[in-house]
Amino acid sequence: MDNYTNDNTARRYRAHVSILGTTQLHLRNPYIIAWWSAAFPGFGHMLLSKYLRGYALFIWEVIVNVKAHVNSSMIYSFQGNIDMAKEVLDTRWLLMYIPVYIFGIWDSYRTTVDMNKIHLLAEREEHPFNTFTIGSLEINYLDKRNPILSVMWSLFIPGLGQLYIHRILTAFFIIIWLVVFYYFSHVQEAIVLLFLGHVKEATTVLKPEWLLFIPSHYGFAIYDSYINTVENNKLFDKELRKHLCENYQSKNFRILKGHKVK
């Protein structure tokens, strides 16, 4: 494929390939993005490739959630112990937590709607973009990957699916925070005790307020790797189709009412 650079000669680009990953515009469901922001603030923005905003909201969620004991309160609520759920909450942190949580949902929804409009305009413009990049640290290029493999690797360890499709920033972020959640929740220690048959000790060693972060983390890693593999494959097909039409298809080639006319 031709090697273009995104040099601001177009008003909008459909995608950009860099050594850190492939960033592209594509249609997204605003409600799904908002749902991921509700599941864990920052995830919705990371799905939109708004990394700085996503990372800030994610770190805010972890710090303030732990300080306000939100997860601990949720666990007591699940157990039907409403009085303890109220007592464990730290309102000094909780009053800061709620506005930012709502903002994350609202902003991710709003941003998705805007980016969908930009995507449609970029598709109409059809300006060329770079499809290959090489540097001293990495090589990245548009190609096709298997979405099932992305899901499989994400199930083993969240972040591996992102590495498979070359989403370096998201991969490192997911893996680093997975280690943090594993360490503070003692989940791997509990798994070892469970395999040894020490069920009571395995339950006792767990830290539920940190354990509750892990399901959302796994779910996001699986969804993000799958959906981006699918969208990258679509982008590859579009770019290859355009390249073949421009360079190999006869200028006199026409299709009228299902019949080829040369």
pLDDT in tens, 224-234: 999 999 999 99
Residue 2: the pLDDT is 47
Query: What pLDDT score does 1 carry?
Result: 43
Q: What pLDDT does residue 127 have? A: 85
Q: Given this model, what pLDDT does residue 257 score? A: 66
Band of pLDDT at residue 5, cut at 50, 70 and 90: low
Assess contact for 74 and 212: CB atoms under 8 A: yes
- pTM reported for the whole predicted model: 0.89
With a cut of 90, say whether residue 27 has pLDDT above it: yes
Asked if 107 contacts 45 with a C-beta cutoff of 8 angstroms, the reply is yes
Tell me the pLDDT tens digit for each residue of 121-180: 998 888 888 889 998 889 999 999 999 999 999 999 999 999 999 999 999 999 999 999
Give the C-alpha separation, 85 to 75, whole Å: 8
* Tens digits of residue pLDDT in 68-98: 999 999 988 888 888 898 899 988 898 899 9
